[in-house]
A = this chain, B = another copy of it.
Amino acid sequence: VTQQAAPSATHVGSAAGGYDALVGSGLFEKLPELLQARVGAHRYAVISDHRVAPLHGEPLVRACAGAGLEAHLFTFAAGEASKTRKQWSILTDALLDAGVGRDGCVVAVGGGVTGDLAGFVAATFMRGIALVQVPTSYLAMVDASVGGKTGVDLRHGKNLVGAFHAPRLVLADPRTLTTLPEQERAQGLVEAFKHGAIRDAAHFEWLGAHAEALLAADAEAASEAVLRSVEIKAAVVSADERESGLREVLNFGHTVGHALEAESRFDVAHGTAVAEGMLLEAEIGERLGVTEPGTGARLAEALRRLELPPLPTLDATAVSRFLAADKKARSGRARYVLLKRLGEVDGAEGWSREVPDALVLEVLEERLRRV
């Protein structure tokens, strides 16, 4: 008998009335009954990549059929390269061919790419149909599936086309993490550490202390980590659905992180880039006297436990050029979220601010040399 913790529901506020994020071991098997009770769609379009489809997508469609629900499976090639307008078009047409209508529902089963891509299909299909997010990776569970962001990548950058589209339900079953490659687990856990870093120092320390169990996808540790991350993210996005204010705090580590990813031509994985971005932004904050001294060292100590791959050699000047092109830049100037201390973002000048280019370059040069 597998351990089955009682599921926890976190409510996420949104303009459309809000939705529940359910976290619990064994929840996946209750999905057909939850879809029926909470969505009641005419047809369900289950969208998974070709790697997750046999593991979770096909079983779900079979379970839906067994429960008397009409469900169809739509698959695409796994990987960020599928997050395109082209793949979005193909999926949209396939849903229409299958007779999915306004009273249909998209069920996104997979990692962050699936949630973003399938979410954008749901957001734009007949101007928006019901969406259920079923994240099966740490990244998707602790971050991507909550908050309603959907989108695809362009040659100009990631997520440049998309929409905010709140799901009707988020269901995270930590048991599905056992099918996730270990290196992807570490990448996704970085966002959980980020949630601790910006809002809950005790949880941050807890994550560091339980890194080994989390990397092994231990059901109890994973449930605890996912649940607390979802709570933190839900509290932030409930207060600010459209990223005009408080939601900016979620970008801690991401301004520098995105520039590292971009300069490496996405050879550096997102988690690695954000982990490094947090360390660099902590260093910038400490030198500006905004961030409590020693914060960067505490971040580094905990993140070390995730055994992320090292950064490749990157040129500081080249990295800094990508900062101004950041999607969050205003009037061509990059903006940074700075910690006040571990567990708290500094809000003295709003939730993000500009910092001197020279300081950023200096920190980049020192840090990238050290790597």
A residues near B (Cβ < 8 Å) are 15-16, 42, 85, 89, 92-93, 96-97, 101-103, 123-128, 149-151, 154-156, 159-164, 242-243, 327-332
Contact = CB atoms under 8 A, between A and B. Distances in A.
A333 to B, nearest CB: 11
Contacts of A125: 160-161
A92 B84 CA distance: 13
8 contacts: A93-B155, A101-B330, A101-B332, A103-B331, A124-B163, A127-B150, A127-B159, A128-B242
Contact of A124 (B16, B124, B149, B329): B124
Contact of A128 (B89, B164, B331): B164
Nearest to A103: B330
B329 A127 contact: no
Contacts of A332: 101
B92 A162 contact: no
Contacts of A15: 15-16
Contact of A93 (B16, B92, B154, B243): B154
A281 B66 CA distance: 41
A147 to B, nearest CB: 11
Contacts of A328: 102
A92 B124 contact: no
Contacts of A102: 327-330
Given A42-B330, A101-B329, A102-B330, 12 more contacts: A93-B155, A97-B156, A101-B327, A101-B330, A103-B330, A124-B163, A126-B161, A126-B327, A127-B150, A127-B162, A128-B164, A163-B163
A162 B332 CA distance: 29
